[in-house]
Chain A
């Protein structure tokens, strides 16, 4: 049977009850493991026997006074910037991106959208057929605009604000857009970013 692991040795030294019965049985039959356990116990006991010296009561008074004195020259600690302190423009851009992505995905899956320029179903179908599928979002310029809009938005901040999604949701939605839709999304985001000065 295998010798005890380092973690099992620590569990044994601290409390033999922490080891399963089969490991304790191994210990009974293994001189090497028993010897190691004894050494560890002895070292633990020897180290524990050394108490930490206690300075005089006066020391504590002086110590806290010294710390207070040094802190007097320090600026007061400030609260960390919370999600509400993130510039409004960033929130607006991020929210816009999410709304647009989700909205476009919903439209695609629930409603048949008429062609924006009065194109026929046949020409739209032809366009759809020629649309290049994008697998590599990193190299897609339109997607880069979306990423830039959300770059300053921390995950925890978004979660605090009630905006949460499952990992990969946005990528999945973006993958469903064709090139014309991605261009339109990029244009809208671009306009919004310029308008908000982000």
Chain B
């Protein structure tokens, strides 16, 4: 298993003819028109982004998997409310962020890696440097987990998903200024938390 920073939409193998040319809006319409298999294509297309978002909130694979599944179920149930004014991914992110914020909340997170083989291929990295890198990553994850909800959401969406501030504002339902302010506080608090841990 490799560590990748997937910042483009995942493109898993999609066998359905729907997947060939259909954009998200078409898939939603097809699903609302009774073609349930269209939602399978939606899941395949967005599962990686949704899972990675949930992983950042949950801190471990099992919870991230459950949260991502929950986000897709909610998206399916509320599909009729997707009006197409925003991109489908923005709408889906909004659902996933809400699921994560509601479920993860103040719950203590257990940050785990998937398994030893999941670590990045660092054979050329010196052992002590690798150790330091791992410790620092764990400290950052723990600090991010202790940030207030809105700051955490702004930081995760900006840094790990590289979304622009205006799209983050759409997702969390606030202004661009508020997103930037939350991002500022998230970085400033990260510093404080890392100094105290």
Contacts and interface: CB of A to CB of B under 8 A. Distances in A.
Interface of A: 6-7, 9-11, 13, 36, 39-40, 42-44, 46-56, 59-60, 63-64, 66-68, 70-71, 74, 76-80
Given A68-B43, A74-B77, A52 B5 contact: yes
Contacts of B183: 10
B38 to A, nearest CB: 10
A43 B187 contact: yes
Nearest to B44: A64
Contacts of A10: 165, 180-181, 183-184
A53 B55 contact: yes
Contacts of A7: 177, 180-181, 184
Interface of A is mostly: helix
A7 B169 CA distance: 14
B39 A71 contact: yes
A77 B47 contact: no
A79 B155 contact: no
Interface in B1-24: 1-6, 12
A55 B61 contact: yes
Contacts of A78: 32, 80
Interface residues of B, number: 58
Given A51-B5, A55-B1, A63-B47, A46 B136 contact: yes
Interface stretch (B64-72, B97-105, B123-131): B64-72
Contacts of A11: 180
B3 A53 contact: yes
B187 to A, nearest CB: 4
A67 B61 contact: no
B36 interface: yes
B140 A47 contact: yes
Given A71-B36, A77-B77, 6 more contacts: A10-B184, A11-B180, A42-B191, A66-B69, A67-B72, A76-B36
Given A51-B5, A53-B1, A77-B32, A60 B180 contact: no
A63 B69 contact: yes
Nearest to B185: A6
Contact of A77 (B55, B79, B181): B79
Given A46-B136, A77-B31, A79-B32, A51 B184 contact: no
A164 B114 CA distance: 57
Contacts of B2: 54
B170 interface: no
Contacts of B144: 47
B180 A64 contact: no
A78 B76 CA distance: 10
Contacts of B159: 44, 47-48
Interface string B147-165: 0000000010001100001
Nearest to A79: B32
Contacts of B6: 52, 54
Contact of A80 (B56, B81, B190): B81
A52 B44 CA distance: 19
Contacts of B72: 67
A53 B76 contact: no
Contacts of A13: 187
